[in-house]
Amino acid sequence: MLKRFSVSLEEHLLDQFDDYITIHGYSNRSEAIRDLIRKKLVNEQWQQDSEVVGVVTLVYDHHQAQLQERITDLQHSYYRLITSTTHVHMDHHNCLEVTIVKGNAFTVQELAEKMIALRGVKSGNLTMSSTGDDLH
C-alpha cells in the first residue's frame, strides 16, 4: 500500500534533484526517492553487521606467481560466505573473477579486503547489497 507525503525543498536543490532524475533515467520523483531511501537502508545494514549479500570483483594478471592459489585458499577459508564464483579469461594476461557472497557484513568486508589486497590484483571492488528481507 502506497502512502503519500510531501517534501519541501529549496528551488535550487529541487532543480538538481530533477537533473539527477533525468540523468539516471527515473520515470518520476517518487521512484528516485524510493531508490535513494533503499540505498541508505542497505548502507545501514552493512554498518550494523547485518546479513547481507555482495559481489567481490577482481581483475588480475594470471601470470602472477601463486595468485590463483592464494585466491582459492582465501575462498576456502571463507567458504561459508561464498555462493558462487565465476572466472573469466579476458585476454592472454588478465582474468576477471567474480565472487558472490552472503553473510554478516563485517566478515564479507574482511574477505573482500583480503582478496583485493593480494599481490597481483590490478583492480578490486566490493559491491554491497541487501538480502532484500527488510526492503519493500
89 labeled binding residue: yes
93 labeled binding residue: no
Cα–Cα dist 91/11, whole Å = 50
Residues 6+ apart with CB under 8 A from 104: 49, 50, 51, 52
Residues 6+ apart with CB under 8 A from 28: 21
Residues 6+ apart with CB under 8 A from 121: 58, 59, 60, 67, 115
Annotated binding-site residues read 76, 87, 89, 95
Annotated binding-site residues for Ni(2+) read 76, 87, 89, 95
